[in-house]
A and B are shown apart, each in its own frame.
Chain A
């Protein structure tokens, strides 16, 4: 079955960098666009970024554009975060698109919302 395991979270100071990883298994990873979504403590969900099934299309939330980079390899989804701010403190979830690229090829699958989610990794930005 679908298995997503996030790692790489931790405590960093403002201005520092961090790389999150999401290990995927149990499904055809290369057939899905993938998302990052975050949730600040006690707050709601915020969409962060999406990458197409083949890595050719990437889209970001305004709040992270220019500071975060989403990318993928054969079995992992990654999020490189630079110039971290206190407001980036959150649990970061990786998620598949809700269906494979075959259902909706437009944008390389980026037009499909998050489907299956991992358990998340906590990033704390604090001095």
Chain B
């Protein structure tokens, strides 16, 4: 089971939007609506931002949204803020060994 493919980096200006893609296969992202997204600030533990493709946990700003089409999931950050500068990882349920696979990670830079 290979890691899900994410762009190495994306960038955007404050107030603009950025979208991070997460490409898997028909055995993981394409099969289950169980894709989650995590934000990791430098030196910190990851934080759950989206689960089940598009569900936002309590306390996560609605500037963060998730979607999926076929074998590719996406995280969109609208109204980009300086505090959004971080690494972002997607994760998909696989249903067989290994049960979960993470993406390669994307560094978001706020210009």
* Interface residues in chain A, defined as those with a beta carbon under 8 Å from any beta carbon in chain B: 35, 37, 44-47, 50, 59-62, 65, 93, 98-99, 110-120
Number of interface residues, chain B, beta carbon within 8 A: 24
Q: Check A44 against B48 for contact (C-beta < 8 Å).
A: no
Contacting A44 at CB < 8 Å: which of B34, B97, B100, B104? B104
Q: Check A98 against B105 for contact (C-beta < 8 Å).
A: no
Q: Which of chain A's residues has its CB closest to B96's CB?
A: A59
Q: Which of chain A's residues has its CB closest to B55's CB?
A: A98
Contacting A45 at CB < 8 Å: which of B1, B46, B48, B93? B46
Check B64 for interface membership: any CB of A closer than 8 A.
no
Q: Check B89 against A44 for contact (C-beta < 8 Å).
A: yes
B11 shortest CB reach to chain A, Å: 19
In the complex, what distance in Å separates the CA atom of A65 from the CA atom of B1? 14
Q: Report whether over half of chain B's contact residues are helix, strand or loop; otherwise say mixed.
A: strand
In the complex, what distance in Å separates the CA atom of A98 from the CA atom of B98? 18
- With contacts A47-B91, A113-B91, A115-B51 known, is A93 near B97, CB below 8 A? no
If A93-B46, A113-B34 are given as contacts, then 12 extra A-B residue pairs at C-beta distance below 8 Å, sorted by A number, are: A44-B89, A47-B91, A50-B99, A60-B97, A61-B97, A62-B98, A98-B36, A113-B36, A113-B48, A113-B100, A114-B38, A114-B46
Q: Check B105 against A45 for contact (C-beta < 8 Å).
A: yes
Contacts of A112 in B (CB 8 A): 34, 51
A60 shortest CB reach to chain B, Å: 7
In the complex, what distance in Å separates the CA atom of A11 from the CA atom of B45? 21
Among all A-B residue pairs, the 9 with the closest Cβ atoms? A47-B100, A113-B36, A117-B45, A44-B105, A59-B99, A45-B102, A61-B98, A98-B51, A115-B48
In the complex, what distance in Å separates the CA atom of A43 from the CA atom of B86? 14
Contacting B48 at CB < 8 Å: which of A47, A59, A114, A118? A114
19 A/B residue pairs, CB under 8 Å, sorted by A = A37-B46, A44-B3, A44-B89, A44-B103, A45-B40, A46-B102, A60-B98, A61-B98, A93-B45, A98-B51, A110-B99, A113-B91, A113-B93, A114-B46, A114-B91, A115-B48, A116-B48, A117-B45, A118-B45
